[in-house]
């Protein structure tokens, strides 16, 4: 007697990394917008374009402490034959010189102070000598010509009315500073996604508790919490669930108010992989298994309307899947990579994208060696992943795509 042929799955299997990202994006709720004070904007995503309310610089100004004068008067200045100019006043940041600089004249000026009428160049204090002893009033000696390059033009950074930041931009510290400079006290942002994190497994023990042989501390949840916060999400840590369908079902059902749940463990081929079983039973599986290593068993489904992303339990796998699939989908930002030269060969896999742990040294990237999915210290030590596409390979000196993990 032959065994009955198992029914084919009703969901996609062995999807690509890109397909997995797209399927996850499709399950995420429409983002609401929320206007927040700049002090709370870091890490959020901008919900609308931001226009400059003012120009920066707001006036043509000096980039250095020194004197403002006419360049043409100073072209012959040198240490051997300094040029003498007559000082007629001062321009400070916030208190401009009211007059006009004429031929042979100069005004003391400070960084950020408005350039007086008539002047078009700056000579820094380091290139000046005092010459106030003469009877014809205050003078200054220039040891080199004044430079128009040390004048910052009004609007040279951005002009009032210009759109400078675009909807969808992640508000990094530099962009929050830019929003402030544009004149915005508050900014429209996407309300952060609320993401619940739940580890599963009878062997998973909270750090701080005694550990028996065969048990493992719950490292995945803590790595994921950090990665979620870095991605601008509101992360909620749930208690770990044991390997029992009833307990797991109970834990899933009691989650309220999350936009998505990330689980770790229980999605591979084992008898006790109940995340997999419950999601299949629920009938909302978007995919199971991704053509990648590590992280192949990842699964996406739903539970009573809550999207559930099942990360594999192996510590490296869960964090790598988060970084290359979940993070880009949650933030809407593409996976950030750089091109570096391989310092060691990197092999490829025929039918999977490989993410090899690697160390960046200078402009080169080196294979970390220990590529087991349980070698958690490898992620911390190596700090980077080399992406090797399906069927690809790299020799020493070839350019490869690299993801920084720290």
Q: Which residues contact 185 (CB under 8 A, 6 or more apart)?
A: 37, 38
Angle subtended by helix axes 274-282 and 245-253, to nearest 10: 60
Closest approach of Cβ 373 to ligand MOO, in Å?
3
Closest approach of Cβ 211 to ligand MOO, in Å?
22
Residue 15 or 146: which CB sits closer to ligand LQZAQKY5? 15
For residue 294, cis peptide bond before it (omega within 30 degrees of 0): yes
Q: Residues 294, 307, 310, 328: which binds ligand MOO (CB under 6 A)?
A: 294
Pull the structure tokens for residue 281.
């039973």
Q: Which residue has the tokens 């994208």?
A: 353
Coil, strand, or helix at residue 73? helix
Residue 82 or 295: which CB sits closer to ligand LQZAQKY5? 295
Greatest Cα-to-Cα distance within the chain, rounded to the nearest angstrom: 119
Output the CA angle 47-51-52, nearest 5 degrees. Answer: 140
160 burial class (0-12, 13-18, 19+ CB within 10 angstroms)? Answer: middle
Residue 46 or 299: which CB sits closer to ligand LQZAQKY5? 299
Q: Residues 179, 373, 378, 385: which binds ligand MOO (CB under 6 A)?
A: 373
- Asked whether position 301 contacts ligand LQZAQKY5 by CB under 6 A, the answer is no
Closest approach of Cβ 299 to ligand LQZAQKY5, in Å?
8
DSSP-assigned letter for residue 308: E
Q: Residues 91, 264, 286, 314: which binds ligand MOO (CB under 6 A)?
A: 314
402 burial class (0-12, 13-18, 19+ CB within 10 angstroms)? Answer: buried
Closest approach of Cβ 265 to ligand LQZAQKY5, in Å?
3
Q: Which residue has the tokens 């590529």?
A: 371
Pull the structure tokens for residue 289.
């298994």
- Asked whether position 264 contacts ligand MOO by CB under 6 A, the answer is no
Q: Residues 124, 265, 266, 296: which binds ligand MOO (CB under 6 A)?
A: 296
Question: Which positions lie near ligand LQZAQKY5, rule CB under 6 A?
Answer: 199, 201, 203-204, 216, 218-221, 264-270, 273, 294, 296-297, 312-315, 317, 373-374
Question: Which positions lie near ligand MOO, rule CB under 6 A?
Answer: 293-296, 312, 314, 317, 373
């Amino acid at each position: 007697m032959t065994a009955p042929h198992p029914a084919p799955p009703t969901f996609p299997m062995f999807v690509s990394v890109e397909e997995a990202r797209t399927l996850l994006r499709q399950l995420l709720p429409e983002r609401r917008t929320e206007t927040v004070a700049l002090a709370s904007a870091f890490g959020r995503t901008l919900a609308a374009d931001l226009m400059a309310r003012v120009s920066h610089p707001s006036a043509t100004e000096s980039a250095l402490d020194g004197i403002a004068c006419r360049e043409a008067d100073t072209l012959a200045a040198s240490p051997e034959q300094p040029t003498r100019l007559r000082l007629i006043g001062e321009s400070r940041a916030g208190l401009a010189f009211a007059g006009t600089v004429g031929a042979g004249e100069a005004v003391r000026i400070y960084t950020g102070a408005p350039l007086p009428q008539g002047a078009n160049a700056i000579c820094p204090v380091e290139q000046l000598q005092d010459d106030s002893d003469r009877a014809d009033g205050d003078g200054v000696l220039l040891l080199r010509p004044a430079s128009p390059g040390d004048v910052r033009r009004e609007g040279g950074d951005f002009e009032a009315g210009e759109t400078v930041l675009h909807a969808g931009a992640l508000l990094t510290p530099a962009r929050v500073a830019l929003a402030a400079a544009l004149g915005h006290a508050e900014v429209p942002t996407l309300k952060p996604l609320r993401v619940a994190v739940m580890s599963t497994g009878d062997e998973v023990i909270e750090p701080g508790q005694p550990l028996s042989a065969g048990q493992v501390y719950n490292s995945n949840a803590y790595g994921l919490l950090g990665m979620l916060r870095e991605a601008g999400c509101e992360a909620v840590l749930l208690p770990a669930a044991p390997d029992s369908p009833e307990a797991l079902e109970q834990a899933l059902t009691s989650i309220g108010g999350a936009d998505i749940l990330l689980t770790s463990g229980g999605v591979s081929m084992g008898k006790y992989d109940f995340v997999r079983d419950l999601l299949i039973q629920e009938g909302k599986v978007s995919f199971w298994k991704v053509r990648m290593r590590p992280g192949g068993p990842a699964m996406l489904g739903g539970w009573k309307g809550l999207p559930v992303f099942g990360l594999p339990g192996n510590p490296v796998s869960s964090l790598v899947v988060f970084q290359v699939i979940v993070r880009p989908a949650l933030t809407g930002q593409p996976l950030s990579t750089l091109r570096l030269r391989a310092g060691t060969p990197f092999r490829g896999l025929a039918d999977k994208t490989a993410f090899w742990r690697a160390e960046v040294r200078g402009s080169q990237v080196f294979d970390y060696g220990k590529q087991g999915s349980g070698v958690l210290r490898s992620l911390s030590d190596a700090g980077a992943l080399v992406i090797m596409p399906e069927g690809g390979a790299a020799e020493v000196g070839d350019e490869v795509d690299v993801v920084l993990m720290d």
